Structure 1
Amino acid sequence: MTASFIGKAGLVTGGGSGIGRAAALEIARRGGKVVIADIADEAGLETVRLIEQEGGIAAFQHTDITDEPSVAALVASVVDRYGSLDFAHNNAAGGIPPKELADYDSEMNAWALKLYLEGPYFCLAHEIRYMKEHGGGSIVNTASLAGLVASPLTGPYTAAKHGVVGYTKSAALEYGRYGIRVNAVCPGVVRTGLTKDLPDEYIGAVTAGQVIKRLADPAEIAAPVVFLLSDSASFITGAIVPVDGGATTSTTSVD
């Protein structure tokens, strides 16, 4: 069964680049109308341009997921433009400096939790409130490999991504009776603008514990996102899907 989004509308946060852009492009190719949400206006508008260039339908909404009114405005913008909110990919993220846990100050810890945990909560809450009253929908959260196992030197990020996994399971459990499916993907390290120029030696060290010893392409993460958002995954909810090159398959590396 081919995942189709014909007649459906939704949103992708962090849609200006990386996984979010790849997911938005593929959803649009399959007939979906997509609002691209990002704090980076030029990047978000470029995703819209790429979609429209292929004949798809998209719009941009400047969104700061750490600001609840901004998230509420995003959900309203999808409904105002396209008449419904059928799917949502909560994917927006950022960067955090690597430090040992006790070396983070309270301000940096609070910021990381706000971006990586409270932001996804705002998205989930507003999406669910609409979907609950309008026949359901599908949501996919981007968690992380760090949501399944500890990631060194990123304590607040690891804690927050574990929290996203918890939110995903709780939401799936609580709202399935309203026709709302909630799943999450847990990517390993992905080749994006931040990682595309990494030296081969560093990539080798990062991927040493994986079965597939390379970084992922954003499209390889977007593919399961698109599937889970679609009706092809109509019997899947509460799933936490590793997309990590086999990193969580074993506690030892495979040569």
Structure 2
Amino acid sequence: MGMAFSGQVALVTGAAAGIGRATAQAFAAEGLHVVVVDLDAQGGEATAALIREAGGEARFLRCDVTVEAEVRAMMDQAVTLYGRVDYAFNNAGIEIENSRLAEGTEAQFDAIMGVNVKGVWLCMKYQLPVMLAQGGGAIVNTASVAGVGAAPKMSIYAASKHAVIGLTQSAAIEYAKKRIRVNAVCPAVIDTDMYRRAYEADPRKAEFAAAMHPVGRVGKVEEVASAVLYLCSDGAAFTTGHSLLVDGGATAI
């Protein structure tokens, strides 16, 4: 069933693979033009090609979301390509550090905060004026279940995702009367390349990852994509400043 999208253009960062690719494809399947954004040019071009092969419209733009000049240029290019950006999914992020707080490094902190927090902030900084000028829009940011509670051995990652929720809620309040909605998705463990790197080499870790979800398995990228599209759709017109858990019941335990 369609989600009654009124806009025409969606922009997805971190779209070279995983959740970002699945969401870009889901937007395209709803008939939207998609701006595929990533630092990985090969993966980003592949996502755009997959969309076009399926009959959709997509263009890839390379961007390092931690660099303001690149984010500004990327948004300018997106508007030049399609005239507007109705929906933005700020999904670019990097993975957990897997060490206790006192064992973390400054380099880890700067890298994780740079992509996961500064990247989201910069993207919204340049998306919001576009949406203000066109009279509205919807933004979804990727947070995490680690952003709504404690996360041992991933304190920097957790802090970055708590920050994403803070940015999301603050922007939602600031722009609520301007017809711009800002929400977040908070996935638990999802079957992505990042997950496979962390868990699949060790079957015991994979079993633990499945068991931490009451549904008995890890999530699928398409399930997160569905949540993102819902938050962007007219069906969520009264939803803003919300962090939607996509966690198989993990936080309900």
**Same fold, TM-score > 0.5, yes or no:** yes
The residue number in structure 2 matching 1:151 is: 151
The residue number in structure 2 matching 1:232 is: 235
Equivalent position amino acid for 2:155 in 1: G
1:232 deviates by 2.3
The residue number in structure 2 matching 1:92 is: 92
TM-score, normalised to structure 1, is: 0.93
The residue number in structure 2 matching 1:214 is: 217
CA contact (8 A) 2:65 2:71 kept: yes
Identity within the alignment, %: 39
Confirm whether residue 201 of structure 1 aligns to residue 213 of structure 2.
no
CA contact (8 A) 2:172 2:182 kept: yes
Which of 179-188 and 222-231 deviates more?
222-231
The residue number in structure 2 matching 1:247 is: 250
The residue number in structure 1 matching 2:103 is: 103
SS in 2 for 1:195: helix
Equivalent position amino acid for 1:172 in 2: A
The residue number in structure 2 matching 1:81 is: 81
SS in 2 for 1:55: coil
CA contact (8 A) 2:138 2:182 kept: yes
Write out per-residue CA displacement over residues 125-176 of structure 1, whole angstroms, 9 at most, x where no aligned residue: 1111221222010000010011111212111110010000111111111101
CA distance in 1, matches of 2:227, 2:95: 23
CA contact (8 A) 1:10 1:78 kept: no
1:39 deviates by 0.5
CA contact (8 A) 1:36 1:58 kept: yes
Structure with the higher helix share, 1 or 2 = 2
CA distance in 2, matches of 1:174, 1:194: 33
Which of 107-116 and 201-210 deviates more?
201-210
Cα distance change of structure 1 residues 119 and 68 upon mapping to structure 2, 3 Å threshold: same
CA contact (8 A) 2:33 2:57 kept: yes
Write out per-residue CA displacement over residues 28-64 of structure 1, whole angstroms, 9 at most, x where no aligned residue: 0101011100010010001111100111000000011
CA contact (8 A) 1:204 1:213 kept: no
In structure 2, runs of 5+ residues without a counterpart are none
1:229 deviates by 1.2
SS in 1 for 2:185: strand
CA distance in 2, matches of 1:205, 1:112: 25
SS in 2 for 1:113: helix
CA distance in 2, matches of 1:80, 1:237: 28
